[in-house]
Amino acid sequence: MLYDASRSGQLAEPAFEPGHWHGRGSLEEVAGGRGTVAFVRDGDRRWVLRHYRRGGAVARLLDDRYLWTGEDRTRSFREWRLLHALHQAGLPVPAPVAARYVRSALTYRADLVTEELPTRLTLARALANAPLEPDRWRGIGRVIGRLHAHGVRHADLNAHNLLLAGDGAVYVVDFDRGRFEARGGWERDVLDRLHRSLAKVTARLPPERWTDGDWKALLEGVAAA
């Protein structure tokens, strides 16, 4: 286990299990998707629990198991340490609380606990409700640009991993497989992935929900950062 005692106090293994919080009446919501996510409330603490699961065809075989290659290479420890560095740098990411792995012979399972952000509204959900103003798109771009300026490569930046707050703030989540990397062509790859995601989530929405002008505004924000 790896944890920040200033955020979690004395932490025990059951804290990673949604069933533990359900038994205490503190489990608020469980979301689906590749990584099972649970939102918990416990007094002043507002945490997000995520259990790592595989995606794609390999998920049918391994589900939530990963090949053991050493403690420092576990998905949960690597993401915890990256989030800790980014949060310390003042970037808009969730504060990491704790991470663990459970080893079994040649494989392991992993979990991560982070502090909940002020919003759960994803960019995808926001676009399903209404179009965004150009300044909002520029704000999204500026946050992406800040990450790139710090040499942070997000492995799966998409419309579900960008959260929008009512005060105009933009947050980035899910840094699994993310890493620090010297600036270069990968920045365009990250943006291309986001572009494909936006095209997908808006494919059946009214055309004004996402336009070429919106994407141009986002790129202006990236450049401004």
Q: Which residues are catalytic?
A: 156
Count CA atoms closer than 13 A to 201's CA, side-chain side: 21
- Decide: residue 163, CB within 10 A, 0-12 exposed, 13-18 middle, 19+ buried: buried
Q: What number of residues does the chain have?
A: 225
Identify the DSSP state of 170: E
At residue 175, the 3 state secondary structure works out as coil
DSSP β-bridge partners for residue 170: 164
Instruction: Tell me whether strands 45-51 and 36-42 are parallel, antiparallel or unpaired.
Output: antiparallel
CA–CA dist 153, 180 (Å, integer): 6
Q: Does residue 126 contact residue 137 with C-beta atoms inside 8 Å?
A: no
Cβ atoms of 181 and 220 within 8 Å: the answer is: no
> How many whole angstroms separate alpha carbon 166 and alpha carbon 182?
33
